[in-house]
Structure 1
């Protein structure tokens, strides 16, 4: 992601939403099924899908289909890239 500001911007935009920020925090504990993520919020399944689409499209989260549900994990490589970028402002 070196010098790709559009890619960095998409990540920061994804993290600018409270719900998505909470989802990222939830995923710190490990892989989670969409149904478990949904249990932590008062939102509908389509709304969760919208948020997860944004998080997966920017690369912060990866998703794997498991039957009718998706299982999500944090992309720690991407998080390290973002941290390294952010540290350049230090």
Structure 2
């Protein structure tokens, strides 16, 4: 059985290269970014990211996510693991449950890789 590829944390992927609109990606940079994008290229994982990001306390328990997604606990745990391995979420075990929170700056770092503007741009020309 083939093993799943190891995903780089998003902050590592962000430091790998310039935003894609600033300079062409090298093959290894494209591989790193593709692995990260594959981690979020799943409707259930996008819903989990959104669920975590919209919580007032900034975290979600696996037990609550199963009801929201309508998926079994092992499936939800797998999706959370992919997001943790990608560096987008953190995991904290409390008793029998795991709680997940966004890694500060992770979504901004990912967005920065996909931006077409530069930090020095002041507006339309």
User: Fold-level match, TM-score > 0.5?
Assistant: yes
Larger helix fraction of residues: 1
Aligned residue pairs total: 90
Please tell me whether residue 43 in structure 1 is matched to residue 71 in structure 2.
yes
Moved more, 4-13 or 38-47: 4-13
Give the structure with higher Rg (CA).
Answer: 2
Structure 1 consecutive aligned stretches of length 4 or more whose deviation exceeds 6 Å:
none
1:42-65 CA distance string (max 9 Å, x none): 211111111111100001111110
TM-score (normalised: structure 1): 0.87
Segments of structure 2 that go 5 or more residues without pairing to the other structure are 1-14, 18-28, 119-125
**Does the residue aligned with 1:59 lie in a helix, a strand or coil?**
coil
| Pairwise CA distance, 1:89 | 7.6
Superposed CA RMSD: 1.8
Of the two structures, which has the highest relative contact order with CA contacts closer than 8 Å and spacing of 6 or more?
A: 2
Segments of structure 1 that go 5 or more residues without pairing to the other structure are none
